[in-house]
Structure formats: C-alpha cells, structure tokens
C-alpha cells in the first residue's frame, strides 16, 4: 500500500500506539481499502509478536559491575603519565586525521611542484620556437618574395594553360 495517508499511519504505528484521532482516520481509510485492511491486520499481529519478545533479564548487579569496571579504569588512568593520558584521550582520535591531513599536504606540494615543472617546460618550448623565428634567412634573400607570390594570382585556364599571355605575367609582377 503506497497511499501516503496509510503509509504515514503505518510508520507512526511502528513507533507508538495510534491516538484516537489517528485511529479514526485509519478506520475511515481501511473501510474504503480492503487490501489495506488485510495488511493492517498482519501489521498488528506482528506488533504483538514483537512486543512479546523480551531479552533475557539483565543481571541485577549489572550497574555495579559497570561501576567497578569504571573504577578499575580510573585507577589505571591515575597510574599513567599525562602524555599517555593525552594520547589515549585525544591522540588516538587525532592521529588518523593528522595522517590524512599530512597525506593531503604531501599531494598538494607534489602537485605544485609538478605544475611548476610543466610551466617551465612550456616556457622552454616557447623560447625554442622564438629562437627558430629569429633564425630566418636574411632580408636580401627574400627581396623578390612578393613578386613570386603574385605569380600565384595569375589566372590559369586549365584547358589552355599556355595561353597565358606575357602581358598578364608582367601585370602580375608590377
């Protein structure tokens, strides 16, 4: 049964007996839903089973035994050095956290180092590229570069490429 009203009443009944108002709401709902009525009967019976389950009685001197164990613990604590008391109270709790924090710090430092190394490598590559540009040929060698480049703009007629006139070539070179 997934009806929210029934579900809410069911969840409440798991924790405590229903109030008269809740019982009235439940009765109204169950009257309209036969499936839910059968389910509710099983729930009530199961509740009865669970309530009847009792663990075996606890020893009557249980509290006294606990207090004796506590006294023994206190006596043990009195005999320990302050450093050991601190370690058992806090150190054991803090040590794993400190270990994790240390590991995180080591990872962070390693990451930073790696980042710096990669940055330097990238810088070195950029410098190498600049040095390549710096070693281009002298300007005199390239004096006719633009004229030669202009030749590529001369229209070529695929069917009759020989028909390009000298005039066109001269115009392109000008």
Partner 1 sequence: MATNLDPDAALMLRVREGDTAAFEALVEKYKQPVFGLVYRHLLDATEAEDVAQNVFLQVFKSARRYRVTAKFSTWLFTIARNLCLNEIRRRSRHPADSLDQAAAPDEHEAPRQFEDAKVTPPPDLVLRRELEAKVEEAIAALPEKQRTALLLCREEELSYEDIAKVVGCSLSATKSLIHRARETLKEQLKPYLRTGEWNEP
- Here's the x/- map for partner 1, 114-153, by CB under 8 A: it reads as ----------------------------------------
Segment near partner 1 (CB under 8 A); pick from 50-58, 98-106, 114-122, 166-174: 50-58
Query: CB atoms < 10 A from the CB of 1, how many?
Result: 14
Whole-angstrom distance, CA of residue 147 vs CA of residue 105: 63
Binding test (CB under 8 A) with partner 1, winner from 19, 61, 113, 119: 61
User: Cα 121 to chain center, whole Å?
Assistant: 31
Task: Figure out which of the listed residues 5, 24, 66, 124 binds partner 1, where binding follows CB under 8 A.
Answer: 66
Cα separation, 108 vs 112, whole angstroms: 6
169, 151 in Cβ contact below 8 A? yes
**Shortest Å distance, C-beta 25 to partner 1:** 19
From residue 28 to residue 47, the character string flagging contacts with partner 1 as x (rule: CB under 8 A) and all else as - is: --------------xx-xx-
Write down the least CB distance from residue 105 to partner 1, Å: 24
Verify binding: residue 93, partner 1, rule CB under 8 A: yes
71's tokens: 């006294």
Question: Residue numbers of the site for partner 1 (CB under 8 A)?
Answer: 11, 14-16, 42-43, 45-46, 48-53, 55-56, 58-70, 73, 88-90, 93
């Amino acid at each position: 049964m997934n009806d929210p009203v029934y579900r809410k009443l069911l969840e409440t009944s798991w924790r405590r007996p229903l109030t008269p108002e809740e019982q009235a709401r439940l009765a109204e709902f169950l009257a309209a839903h036969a499936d839910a009525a059968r389910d509710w009967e099983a729930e009530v019976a199961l509740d009865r089973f669970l309530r009847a389950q009792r663990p075996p009685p606890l020893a009557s001197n249980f509290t006294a035994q606990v207090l004796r164990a506590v006294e023994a613990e206190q006596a043990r604590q009195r005999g320990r050095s302050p450093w050991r008391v601190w370690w058992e109270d806090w150190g054991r709790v803090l040590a794993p956290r400190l270990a994790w924090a240390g590991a995180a710090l080591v990872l962070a430092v390693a990451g930073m180092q790696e980042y710096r190394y990669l940055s330097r490598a990238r810088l070195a590559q950029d410098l190498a590229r600049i040095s390549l540009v710096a070693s281009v040929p002298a300007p005199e060698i390239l004096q006719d570069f633009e004229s030669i480049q202009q030749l590529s703009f001369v229209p070529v007629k695929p069917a009759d490429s020989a028909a390009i006139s000298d005039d066109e070539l001269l115009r392109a070179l000008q």
